[in-house]
Every structure is written in structure tokens, then in C-alpha cells.
Amino acid sequence: MSLDGAGAAGFTLLENASLRDRNTLRVDARAGWLAEVHDANAIPDLLGHPALHGKPLLLLGEGSNVLFTGDYAGAIVTPAMRGVEVLGDDGTSTRIRVAAGEHWDDFVRWTLSHGHAGLENLILIPGSVGAAPMQNIGAYGVEAGEFIESVEAFDMREHRVVHFDNARCEFGYRDSVFKRHPDRWLITAVTFHLPRAWAPRIDYAGVRDELKRVGIERPAPVHIADAVVNLRTRKLPDPKLIGNAGSFFKNPLVPAAQAERLRAQHPQLPCWPAPNDLAKLSAAWLIEASGFKGAREGDAGISSRHALVLVNHGHASGEELWALAQRVREGVHARFGVMLEPEPRIIGAAA
């Protein structure tokens, strides 16, 4: 059943909804109810709707960082509010408020085409603007949190609008207060401040080499964006062509002494120092060395281009994808004594 309240009520509700086009791993799961919010002011009405009464609620953006291991019996709420608004420019920086339902990559391209620098390293990251603060999305040495002035959200527990300034977002590496309390706050809009003062950030993972390769010596923001697009396109499979959720495993943090022992046995293992006497290991290397790069079980696979990427070659179920991910984790653990953690949110019975 579909209840179309977008015009009058500011939201739409669909019963027994397919999620296949709403997650980039292309898992054919279903939701008991799916609500799309077109107007943030309508959230209290939506939450009071009889269809949602007593149901568990899950917040979902574009589904590029989730794995549904089965159907979701409760109600999924997706922000679909659109709009980009320049709030002001005081000569040193521009403040821009963006609705949660905008596509992140569209917004980055909008900033560049309107002469605002800062977000160029974050081009081509899939997903919605509303999800960007969630794990403080980052790439090529830059994090979204550096440019977020404030976040507007609806508190799903206390049923009221809440404003978070940057400090209250508690941004960390792929982390924020929102990530630590999933489904508590529905992020409805994000305000960015993009400083006029700009310096290229090109010291990370091949950006400088890529610029050199295309003959750019003094890059402008658009040149860096182009270089990042080239690097990302070469490295990561396009979810439009093959289902995936980007990096599926986090680089594991282990005690420094354990990293040293592993490096003594495997000098090629990439390893970076981390605070608190820990060390970060390359999950991609561990997976490849355990023989899983390019592995395939039915339609579930590990990309042959990048060992961190779990792929759906066609019709793999969420359960099958999760089962392969578990085998990879167990295989790496058996060989190296290190347990990998998934980066995407695992949703469903098996989670």
C-alpha cells in the first residue's frame, strides 16, 4: 500500500517496500514500511502515523554504507529534502546550508562550479549530504567535519529539533556522536563554511603523482577534483556497474607489539603508528595475503581490483554476502591472528 502524503503531509509511506534500489550492494531485501520525508517539518506527523506505531525505526540515506542481511520488519525513514542555500559570505568564508537529501557528489560539484574550494578531495564519495556527518566522511587526507559548521537534526527519542555545532558533533576518524547513537537523530540539514583562504591538499595517496601525470604543476581546486576522480575511478568499482559498499573492512588497530611481531614475519605488511601504543595495519594486504582477493562464492565476491571491496556480482543475498565477509574475517584471523571489523552498518537478523 502506498500513502502519498508528499504534497499535503510532506512525506510518503510505502508498505512492504523493496530496498534493492536503495542500497549500493543491490541486496534484494524488503522493509515493513518505507517513509520518505520531503519536508522536515512533517517529521512529527510521520512519527505519529498509525502505520509506524510501535515499530522499530531505521534511518537510511542512499544505502552506500549498509549491508542488509535480511528483511527489515520495522519502518525505514529516508530524508528526501532538497535544497542548497548560501547563507552568507563575510569575505573570509562562505556559509552554505544543504538539505539532507541532496547527493553529496552533486553538492561537491556545485561548490566547485560556484567557485568555493575545500571539498575537492571529497568528490565522488557516494551517498547523501545527511549521512556525511554520520561517519565524518573522508578521503585523500580531508574530512567533511573540517568544513561542517553545524548540523540540524530531529531527535527521534525526544521528538524535537536539535542543533549541533561542530564541537557537539564530536567528529573523529570515520566517527561522530551520530555514529555512536545510530537512529537517534535524523539529520535534516548540514551547514558548511568554506574559507576563502585555500591551499591544495595533495600529499595523500597518489594525488600529487596523478597531477604530475596529467602535467599540472600549480593545481586549482578543479584540477585536484579531476585527479581524485581519476584515482577513485581506477581503484574502486562503480556501484552503478557492480554492487558494492566501498571499503567493506576497516584497517585494524592492534597493539604495537603485535604489529612488530607480524612485521618481523611479513616485512611487506603496511603498518602505520597510531595513538595509545597501537598500530594500524592494512586490511587490504591481510586479505590479499590470505588469498581472498578476487574470491567468489556464487554471486558474492571480493573485488579482484581492490581486496577491501565486497561485491555483488548479480543476485547475491545479504546473507550470502555476509557469509563471505565472515569467511574472510575468519581466514585472516586464522592466518594472522587479527580480526577485521566491517565498515558498513550491518542490518538484519545476522547482525
Enumerate binding residues for ligand FAD (CB under 6 A): 24, 59-66, 79, 100, 125-128, 130-132, 134-135, 137-139, 178, 182, 185-187, 236, 239, 244-246, 345
CB of 178 to ligand FAD, least distance (A): 6
Distance CA 174, CA 250 (A): 10
CB of 133 to ligand FAD, least distance (A): 8
CB of 304 to ligand FAD, least distance (A): 15
**Element spanning 1, H or E:** none
Distance CA 254, CA 277 (A): 9
Q: Which of 23/290 has CB closer to ligand FAD? A: 23
**Long-range contact list for 106-115, CB < 8 A, 24+ apart?**
108/225, 109/225, 110/84, 111/194, 112/221, 112/222, 112/225
C-alpha cell at 292: 581472498
Torsion, Cα of 299, 301, 305, 310 (10° steps): 110
Q: Which of 154/336 has CB closer to ligand FAD? A: 154
Q: What is the CA radius of gyration of the chain?
A: 21
**Long-range contact list for 252-257, CB < 8 A, 24+ apart?**
252/280, 252/281, 252/283, 252/286, 252/338, 252/339, 252/340, 252/341, 253/278, 253/279, 253/280, 254/278, 254/279, 254/281, 254/338, 255/279
Q: Which of 93/191 has CB closer to ligand FAD? A: 191
Q: Which of 96/125 has CB closer to ligand FAD? A: 125
Nearest partner of 47 among 8, 17, 85, 77, judged by Cα: 77
CB of 98 to ligand FAD, least distance (A): 11
CB of 126 to ligand FAD, least distance (A): 4
Tell me the one-letter amino acid at 102. Answer: E
CB of 123 to ligand FAD, least distance (A): 10
Q: Which of 93/128 has CB closer to ligand FAD? A: 128
Nearest partner of 58 among 164, 156, 190, judged by Cα: 156
Q: Which of 65/191 has CB closer to ligand FAD? A: 65
Identify the residue whose cell numbers are 581519476: 230
Known catalytic residues are 174, 247, 343
CB of 291 to ligand FAD, least distance (A): 24
Distance CA 81, CA 105 (A): 16
Q: Which of 166/258 has CB closer to ligand FAD? A: 166
**Element spanning 268, H or E:** none
Collapsing DSSP to helix, strand or coil, 13 comes out as strand
Which neighbouring-strand residues pair with 79? 37
